[in-house]
Structure 1
Amino acid sequence: MKNLFTLLALLCLSIGIYAQNVTVIDKEKLFDFYQTQRYGDAAQYLKGIYGEEVKDFKTLSQIGYCFLMAGNNVEAEKFYSKAYSLQPQSLPILFSLGSINNKRGNTEKAKKYYGEIVQIDSNNFSVYKLLANLYPLPTDSMKLVYLLKANRINPLEGDVAADLAEVHSTYQQYEKAYDVLNVAIKGDSDNLVLQRAKLPIANQLKKYGEAIVSGEKLLKDAADAGVIKDVAKAYYYTKKYQKAIDLFKLLEALAMENESTLYYTSLSYRALKNYPQAAIYTKKTIDEAISPNTSSYYSLLGLVYEENNQLTFANAAYKKGLQFKATPTLYYRLAVFYDSRLKQGKNALKYYNLYLKSKPSLTDDKEEIKFSKDRIAQLKVTH
């Protein structure tokens, strides 16, 4: 009998110890955290209950998810990494770790985790799309590899189709780009992103009629500068010059013109034999093509040559700068150059006068102005 009481006492003690070790979760409280999107509170609540040394895969995943949703990537990675050590082939864990490292700029680690997904599931569209996005340059060979794989699995997905078409276009493989977009557009004819991407490619392939039809539809949606330019070019190549001009001028009204659009405007006016306007737009094209700093660059180049005693090159550089823009600085440099380096007083006098006529700053250039006036007075005596 004594032994029976002893056995019952030990059993009760064991049950009491087990009851103390069972984790009790307030499900209503946790649900409220989720319902109100207080994921940080949920994560801290679960962490407080389970502690740091939890080794249960589902619990680690749950805490990691809460930290991830709360934007705490450091804590999320810590718990997901522990879950990864328990189940290294879990796709949700690998996706989460890849995403976290991508957000934190750890691109190589993101590639590692996504690469492990590929080893497990070689037909996973999402992971190929994510891997392609880790290569920002369209010229990167691996970007093309992953986009091709993603597109093969799902050729109707618009984002991948647009990105793949861009890469093909970078390599001037316009037929491939066109085909990729065509397939995706057939699956989603209202996708304006795909329609926009197709326009410049259609022009490259001389499918001008198609570019005009789809472009005009896009123009009804919004006056996108890229669309306007591509439709206008298509009109130019189909010899509808006035329609091309009207669209190019719309870009001017929106302050979105550039060297190319001004050039085609000039060509269109020339084709219509409107030579005065053609001349105006040719000059505008030239002005747009030239950097406003070009004359300054030649001024610097001339100074470098001068300081290296390459006087012929210096002279040529200064005068080349004047062809782009006659600035007070260039006139002054040339005046001093002829005066002190080449000892050509007559030419120096000419450029000192041009310098003063170019209206240099009375405050910033007052010393140069005084020096020029003094030298003019002196040179007039001798020349």
Structure 2
Amino acid sequence: MKNLFLLITLLGLNLSLYAQNNQAVDKEKLFDFYQSQRYADAAQYLKSIYGEEPDDFKILSQMGYCFLMAGNNVEAEKFYGRAYILQPQNLPILFSLASINNKRGNTEKARKYYGEIVKTDSNNFNVYKLLANMYSSPKEDSVKLIYLLKAHKINPLEGDVAADLAEVHSNYQQYEKAYDVLDIAIKDDSDNLVLQRAKLPIANQLKRYAEVIASGEKLLKDGADAGVIKDVAKAYYYTKKYQKAIDLFKVLEVAAMQNEATLYYTSLSYRALKNYQQAAIYTKKTIDEAISPNTSSYYSLLGLVYEENNQLSLANAAYKKGLQFKVVPTLYYRMAVFYDTKLKQGKNALKYYILYLKSKPSLTDDKEEIKFTKDRIAQLNLTD
């Protein structure tokens, strides 16, 4: 019904333009294009009638709309842009230009058009919401907050804005404000699970652990959401229900969804239960999780850079530091060659060549290095 009304409106607009052009428009043909949603054909037909540069606002708007519906954003922007010159405060034109530029990644231009809308209509909730969504990086939180506050003031019950505003408040550690924003929206929409999940970490920050456990356990009945599990488990830890905390944290571990924080709290829970063996295991897991698996490779690269710059003591220190994180065959090989060629320390070179072979390098990828290592070990053994 809505589409039919739009077609009738557009057709009526087209009819009103007949008198402004010497060439008559075939209304049946145009209506057929609209009805069958052949907007590209409609746009080209209108262009054949009105030309490339009509100077009538309604014609430009109609052609811009047809190209927009046809997915031709370049042509749509061209005709809407000309309409904008004629009527720079026209809200539908501003919305269309902002939307087109947003889709094409022209963020600054989209912001400009949305900004012009709020100058004309300062109570437009949708524009403030759209503007807020265009500031996504943490560095832009201060600007995003301004638009979210304006949108929230107009409609404090809208869930998306409430969730986004609460997140920004949380980023500024304004947990009470974040909690209140979500609380208002949840009271209006008590079945909104997105808002309920968003509220849990904030309630934890405010030490409302009983609320987190009660609400979180209900949410877990609808599915094992990792974020909910983590928040409920933390609430159990802070209320000294350590075994329940461990049980939930292990659900994440089984699903390979653990992280440094969850492993850390698991270790603390075991320690609180005086299970020191498990506490030690999970402390080691926490350390492993906190360290990048590529750290040793980074130190290997650092050592190579120092070596190539003839900073041999720094190179030696970097290589050894890499071994503290993870033993990788490449690092042993680099150290062996380093001691062999740079420091001229045959015994140390021999030690690392042997360690390289014991570390099981790839027989296919490291074939040449393995052959060189074996030959060099034989030579070094002869010199001894």
TM-score by length of 1: 0.86
Greater mean deviation of Cα atoms: 32-41 or 286-295? 32-41
Unaligned runs of 5+ in 2: 1-18
**Residues in 1 aligned to 2:20 and 2:138: alpha-carbon distance in whole angstroms:** 60
Shift of the 343–56 alpha-carbon distance from structure 1 to 2, 3 Å rule, reads: closer
What percent identity do the matched residue pairs reach? 84
**Code of the aligned partner of 1:94:** L
**Code of the aligned partner of 1:104:** R
Q: Is contact 1:94-1:116 (8 Å) kept?
A: yes
Identify the residue that residue 154 of structure 1 maps to in structure 2. Answer: 155
**Residues in 2 aligned to 1:20 and 1:199: alpha-carbon distance in whole angstroms:** 63
Q: How does 1:1-383 map to 2 (within 5 A)?
A: 21=22, 23=24, 25-26=26-27, 30-140=30-140, 141-381=142-382, 383=384
Q: Report the CA distance between 1:180 and its aligned residue.
A: 1.6
Shift of the 251–34 alpha-carbon distance from structure 1 to 2, 3 Å rule, reads: farther
Q: Report the CA distance between 1:48 and its aligned residue.
A: 4.3
Q: Report the CA distance between 1:352 and its aligned residue.
A: 2.3
**Residues in 1 aligned to 2:332 and 2:25: alpha-carbon distance in whole angstroms:** 86
**Residues in 2 aligned to 1:170 and 1:93: alpha-carbon distance in whole angstroms:** 36
TM-score by length of 2: 0.86
Shift of the 93–369 alpha-carbon distance from structure 1 to 2, 3 Å rule, reads: closer
Please give the per-residue CA displacement for 1:125-151, whole angstroms capped at 9, x wherever unaligned. Answer: 111111212222143132121111111
Identify the residue that residue 15 of structure 1 maps to in structure 2. Answer: none
Q: Is contact 1:139-1:170 (8 Å) kept?
A: no
Higher radius of gyration, 1 or 2: 1
Q: Is contact 1:23-1:50 (8 Å) kept?
A: no
How many pairs does the alignment contain?
365
Q: Report the CA distance between 1:344 and its aligned residue.
A: 3.1
**Code of the aligned partner of 1:43:** A
Q: Report the CA distance between 1:52 and its aligned residue.
A: 4.1
Identify the residue that residue 8 of structure 1 maps to in structure 2. Answer: none
**Residues in 2 aligned to 1:139 and 1:163: alpha-carbon distance in whole angstroms:** 15
**Residues in 2 aligned to 1:175 and 1:318: alpha-carbon distance in whole angstroms:** 49
**Residues in 1 aligned to 2:147 and 2:164: alpha-carbon distance in whole angstroms:** 11
**Code of the aligned partner of 1:288:** E
Q: Report the CA distance between 1:226 and its aligned residue.
A: 1.5
SS for the counterpart of 2:163 is helix
Q: Is contact 2:338-2:349 (8 Å) kept?
A: yes
**Code of the aligned partner of 2:166:** A
**Residues in 2 aligned to 1:20 and 1:373: alpha-carbon distance in whole angstroms:** 89
Please give the per-residue CA displacement for 1:184-215, whole angstroms capped at 9, x wherever unaligned. Answer: 22222222221122111111222222222222
Q: Is contact 1:203-1:234 (8 Å) kept?
A: yes
Q: Report the CA distance between 1:22 and its aligned residue.
A: 7.8
**Residues in 1 aligned to 2:331 and 2:31: alpha-carbon distance in whole angstroms:** 74
SS for the counterpart of 1:256 is coil
Identify the residue that residue 11 of structure 1 maps to in structure 2. Answer: none
**Code of the aligned partner of 2:309:** N
Q: Report the CA distance between 1:99 and its aligned residue.
A: 1.0
Name the Cα RMSD after superposition. 2.5
**Residues in 1 aligned to 2:167 and 2:35: alpha-carbon distance in whole angstroms:** 42
Unaligned runs of 5+ in 1: 1-17
Q: Is contact 1:345-1:379 (8 Å) kept?
A: yes
Q: Is contact 2:21-2:50 (8 Å) kept?
A: no
